[in-house]
Every structure is written in structure tokens, then in C-alpha cells.
Amino acid sequence: MSNGVIDLISILDLEQIEVNLFRGNSPKTRWQRVFGGQVIGQAMVAACRTVEGRLPHSLHCYFILPGDPQIPIIYEVERLRDGKSYATRRITAIQHGNAIFSMIVSFHNDEETEFDHQDKMPDVPPPEKLTAEEVAKQPMFRDMPDFIRRYYESDRPIELRPVELGRYFGQKIDDGRIHVWIRTAAKLPDDPALHMCALAYASDFSLLDAIMARYGRTLFDKRMMPASLDHAMWFHRPFRADEWLLYAQDSPSAQGGRGLTRGQIFKPDGTLVASVAQEGSVRQRKL
């Protein structure tokens, strides 16, 4: 296994310290606050540990306070419902005695239905055409910013292959529609719940970029102060998070220091496996 997948598994491997009470740790990074996807993924793991025979179908969460990566996060699970078809859990993440994050996850028994439709997958280049070697053939790559080079060079838990590279050079995308191929850095165990938690972790990557793309800006701009406010996710069909998935994103609105983004996640064969929505704080620093 690569270091990336070991890191992800260790991030999602919570310690149970009491009934309905779990402890998660943060990886050693230079980040000053905990990555939002980490808290989502860990909270999902905590919820899944309290439910048997069902998988999550939706989650809704709020980021309340920034997480401190230097100390563990305590996850408290409340068992709100255990019905015939659905189970519901509320998870609160706690640090320094304060709630920093709150999430509700709903679980459902899989069932057959006569209703089965989905949106069509966007037509974009496959991930094989977006490797570092392929991108290096483009003239612009010689002047590629360091933060983009790190997409291809770092051993992060999630591999990212952006499709619209021009937006990192100031190109505006009027409708804010951007696409990123994602997958875990290496193979995961055959546990559907773990793959859902891994995708929930990855779902917070690059989502606010769809707002910036309308203006030819990026979240790496030091003038920006981006932050996730709330996050919702729906799981539609089976998938593996260690195989390439297309994350199609757009931003229908931004106003009042907040921006709304949406995402659809597809398998390479066109199967829609999940949908995401997030509102974020998008403010510019006062110089």
C-alpha cells in the first residue's frame, strides 16, 4: 500500500471510547485547521458503527467552528430512529468542550422500484488523458503554478486530476461548470460503507472552486478567505472510491459573502453514484 491509502484508512479508523462515543485524530500537516472532508468522513464512520445491515443514503451537516488539527476530535452519536426501512443518526463533533460540527445521516434498506433514472454524464477527457505526462505536453505546463504541480506530485490520500486547467491561469468559466477526476490513492478493503465514507471525505475537495471559476480566480489566491458552511450529500448507486470517479461541479449563485455549489459524481461508464450540494463563505481579505 502507498502512504496515501494508509493515511486515509488511519484517518477514518476511529477509536470507540464509550457507547456512541468515538475519537478521531488528524494527520500531521501544515494546515492551521482541520480539513472539512475529514470531519465529514470521520462523522460518517462514527454513525456507521452504530447501524447494522443498512448503508447511508444521505447526510446533511454544518461546520460550526474551525477544527484544531493538534488535538483529537470527539464524535458523539445520537440514535434518533431505528425504523423498519430507515435509521437516523445525529453526530456532533466536539473539541475544547465546544461543538465544532453537526451532522445527520440517514440509512436505508436497499429496495427494488419501478422508478430509475439519472442525468447524463458530461463528455470530458478520461483521467488517462490528464496524467502529469500528458499535461506536460501542453505549452502552459511549463509555467504551471506550484499548487497545481502538487496535484500530480504529492502523496495525498485522494488523487485529483482537474479537467479545466486553464482556470488556474485566469481563464473565466462563465457558467462555473468544472470537472475533476478523483479516487483514493490506492486500493481500499471491500467494505461498501468505507467507500462511502472515503467519498464523503473527498467530496469537500475543490467544491468551492466552481464559484471562483466564474471569475478566473482560484481558492489558492491569498486574497481569498474560503470556508465551507454546510454540506449535503446523497448516495444513489454502488461504487468504489478507489476507482476513478468524475466530480462534475457548478455554482448557480453567489451573493452576500456566500456561494452555492453543486456536484454530481459519476463512474466512468456514466453511472451517477452521488450528488452533493454545499454553501461556502467566499470573502476577500481587506488589504
What residues are labeled active site? 204, 228, 278
CB contact set of 24 (below 8 Å; sequence gap of 6+): 11, 14, 15, 38, 42, 45, 46, 72, 73, 75
Beta bridge partners of residue 232, listed in sequence order: 60, 277
What is the SS3 assignment for 137-171? CCHHHHHCCHHHHHHHHCCCCEEEEECCHHHHHCC
Range list of H helices, the chain = 3-12, 36-48, 132-135, 146-153, 192-202, 209-213
Give me Rg for the CA atoms of the chain.
19
Report yes or no: 211 and 251 within 8 Å, Cβ to Cβ: yes
**In Å, what is the CA distance from 237 to each residue of 56, 193, 227, 274?**
11, 12, 29, 7
First to last CA, the chain: 45
Beta bridge partners of residue 265, listed in sequence order: 247, 274
